[in-house]
Amino acid sequence: MSANVKVARAVWSGGFKFTAISGSGHSIVMDAAAEHGGEDAGARPMEVLLATLAGCTGMDMITVLRKQRQPVEGLEILVHGQQADQHPKKYTDITVEYVIHGNDISPDAVERAIRLSEEQYCSVAATLKGAATITSTYRIEPEYELEPALEMED
């Protein structure tokens, strides 16, 4: 199979629970919320989509910022997606917020890394463009303290 062809498989476990297995052998559990008939045993597929955008652009950011010799101590990417009210309830607007941790981080370097990720490197963002409006913001914080996932805003 060509290196340009990616594969994923989803296996049903009952109810609305699926385990997706990537071509590289990693798995993600997905399920519906209890109020929608699921058991809340995994992430929602649309949440996973946002997470793939965060992971893809995050890898780009680290690569570009390292090449620019930026002293990055931590990076968080918060992705918020606004869904349409009617089915298929696709994302219409997505906001990507980059939180870069470290001292003496150049705002110009961060802006360049974001631009390169958005325009040239991130295949997930390129796939979503045209389907949703994607906007980006960033902030630089000198100290690194990972916020607990439970405190994430909806």
**pLDDT band, residue 3 (cuts 50/70/90):** confident
Burial of residue 61 (CB within 10 Å: 0-12, 13-18, 19+) is buried
Please compute the mean of the pLDDT values over residues 14-41 and round it to a whole number.
96
pLDDT tens track for 32-48: 999 999 999 999 999 99
pLDDT of residue 148: 62
Q: Which residues have CB under 8 Å from 100's CB, separation 6+?
A: 61, 65, 72, 74, 75, 110, 138, 139, 140, 141
Query: Quick one: how far is CA 15 from the chain centroid?
Result: 26
Tens digits of residue pLDDT in 96-125: 999 999 999 999 999 999 999 999 999 999
Predicted confidence at residue 152, as pLDDT, reads 58
What is this structure's pTM?
A: 0.90
CA dihedral 8, 149, 140, 67 (to 10 degrees): -30
pLDDT of 146: 63
Give pLDDT, residue 143.
73
